[in-house]
Amino acid sequence: MNSLVVSLKFFVLILAELTALFLGISTIIGLILQYVSDEKLRRWFSKRGLLGNFLGAAMGAITPFCSCSTIPMTVGLLRAGVPFGATMSFVLASPLLNPIILTMFWALLGWQTCVVYGVVTFVLATASGALLELIGLAQDVKKVRVSGEPGERAAPPTLGAKLNFAFGGAWSDFRGVLAYLIIGVAIGAAIYGYVPGDFVVRIAGRHNPFAIPVAAAIGVPLYVRAETVIPIALALTKKGMSIGAVLALIIGGAGMSIPEMSMLASIFKTRLVAVFIGVVFVTAVVAGFTFNVIR
């Protein structure tokens, strides 16, 4: 009975907190994006060289896209003449970094975890995009069309109307992820209430050298959305899982989710998809070990 009460308390508190964060941050970002056209966004990070990669990763970090939006946006960027490397930096950063994920990290796992996660993933997304272009993988992009490519946003004229429009979009997005949030929080609550802490420490504690790469690999089948896996990660940290392994779990799942890999396979050839998976795995492992070293 005590375990059930603890699990229910965890479920209610975390679900309420994530709901407030998701709606609040999504509304703010939706409002900001109404002042910037899609074409202007594309022009901003069409720069050649490392600056283009930096801007591509920054674009991925500020836009709360899921896979269904990231892939059409990727096609649009390539058609608009954005360099391949900058586009790949965007693709790498988009599922891993956005204000919603970073705010959840800060609120649930602390500012140190948030900073390490953000810096490592941003730097590696920037560098990896440049590297993928340097070794000539631009030729592995298929010439395909993807339906649902985003167009120009028709924003309302007044601030009040823009705010209502932004909240409407945030609410629509929230309804789309609510089931995943509930699933993730429910799994996290069950772990928090019923899984023995010594078991988690033995399997994924700080002193297990294989915990981080294993966590990066098993994140893939666990992942639905980042909003789902973060509550699970929170419960695991409370049971003794190292923060490094938690970071690897989240990055591995968010960056190599099965739905996104399936969509990437529709626009990238097999070699590029395989290299992309390898880059995400390395990012997950580096972020995990980095945190454990500096903590």
> What's this model's pTM, rounded to 2 decimal places?
0.67
What would the mean pLDDT of 17-44 be, rounded to a whole number? 72
pLDDT tens digits for range 95-105: 788 777 788 77
As a whole-number percent, the residues of the chain with pLDDT over 90 amount to 3
| Tokens matching residue 230 | 């973060």
Angle at 77 between CA 180 and CA 88, to 5 degrees: 70
Q: Which amino acid is at 52?
A: G
Residue with tokens 């954005």: 82
Q: Is 244 exposed, middle or buried (0-12, 13-18, 19+ CB in 10 A)?
A: buried
DSSP 119-187: HHHHHHHHHHHHHHHHTTGGGGB-----TT--------SSHHHHHHHHHHHHHHHHHHHHHHHHHHHHH
Q: Residue 272 class from Cβ within 10 Å (0-12 exposed, 13-18 middle, 19+ buried)?
A: buried
What pLDDT digit, counting tens, does each position of 172-203 carry? 867 866 776 787 678 767 766 776 656 656 66
Q: Is residue 72 scored above 70 in pLDDT? A: no
Query: Would you tell me how many other CB atoms lie within 10 Å of the CB of residue 114?
Result: 18
| Rounded-to-integer distance, Cα 84 and Cα 285, Å | 25
